[in-house]
Amino acid sequence: MSAPAFTAQIEQAIDRTRADVSALHAQLVSNGLVVWTGGNVSGRVPGADLFVIKPSGVDYGDLAPHTMILCDLDGAVIPGTPGSDRSPSSDTAAHAYVYRNMPEVGGVVHTHSTYATAWAARGEPIPCVITAMADEFGGDIPVGPFAIIGDDSIGRGIVATLSGHRSRAVLMQNHGPFAIGSDARDAVKAAVMLEDVARTVHIARQGGPLIPLPQDAIDALFHRYQNVYGQTTEKETD
């Protein structure tokens, strides 16, 4: 089947998204968030009801822009496009559900990173007890409901848990973490930071009771990091 005709502008956006999503998978490997072929990154194509996602069961070293798979927002593979001869990630329906129902989301990441998945196995939120968590997530990392892979049930749980929540990450019970972002890179950053705080808080709890951060401090830290930190007028460093 021939490929659909896209405008030159959309074709360029698809190519950029393919390149970005392909390259970002290396960040999952270098940060120790995945093993073998598990995990995935997807990215929404700007200006189109499309997203790009990793193919199923392909070694990370074999990923390239042309092996990424282009899907519509129902999770259907766009025929005749590069990569369309392969099956998309088994999490495609979940990613598609997120994109359909959270238009502000431009990237979705799933990993089985060790410490975050351990919290998910207990069905326990990660409490906000360090400033880095307040900065990045604005509070606790919530737990989403248990759902079986294969349809949009996981996506429904992600959306229900994160809608109206500051956190860009959710621990799907007995499964593992998902992270969202304004684009694919932002979602990967959230996944990396999630594993870092999951490890730190786990280790801290082994030494004794955790000290919760006051809500007003969490609010102030989140506001500063999200709206001031890194801007040209910012003088402080963290």
The pLDDT tens digits of the residues spanning 162-175 come to 999 999 999 999 99
pLDDT at residue number 1: 63
Active-site residue (options: 112, 165, 202, 223): 112
pLDDT at residue number 3: 75
Active-site residue (options: 72, 165, 223, 229): 229
Query: Does the structure show a pLDDT above 60 at 232?
Result: no
Q: Is 229 a catalytic residue?
A: yes
Mean pLDDT of the chain: 95
Q: Is 112 a catalytic residue?
A: yes
Query: Does the structure show a pLDDT above 60 at 233?
Result: no
Strand partners, 171: 143, 177
Query: Does the structure show a pLDDT above 70 at 16?
Result: yes
Query: Does the structure show a pLDDT above 70 at 231?
Result: no
Q: Is 110 a catalytic residue?
A: yes
Strand partners, 170: 178
Question: Would you call 214 helix, strand, or coil by DSSP?
Answer: coil
Query: Does the structure show a pLDDT above 50 at 234?
Result: no
Non-local (6+) Cβ contacts of 51 within 8 A are 17, 42, 43, 44, 45, 70, 71, 73, 95, 96, 99
Active-site residue (options: 110, 115, 140, 225): 110
CB atoms closer than 10 angstroms to residue 27: 18
Active-site residue (options: 91, 99, 115, 175): 175
The model carries a pTM of 0.94
Q: What's the average model confidence in pLDDT over 181-193?
A: 98
Query: Does the structure show a pLDDT above 90 at 36?
Result: yes
Non-local (6+) Cβ contacts of 171 within 8 A are 116, 117, 119, 120, 124, 125, 126, 141, 142, 143, 144, 177
* Dist CA 42 CA 52 (whole Å): 5
Q: Is 25 a catalytic residue?
A: no
Active-site residue (options: 20, 91, 135, 183): 135
43-94 residue pLDDT tens: 999 999 999 999 999 999 999 999 999 999 999 999 999 999 999 999 999 9
State which fold the 8-227 domain adopts.
Answer: L-fuculose-1-phosphate Aldolase (3.40.225)
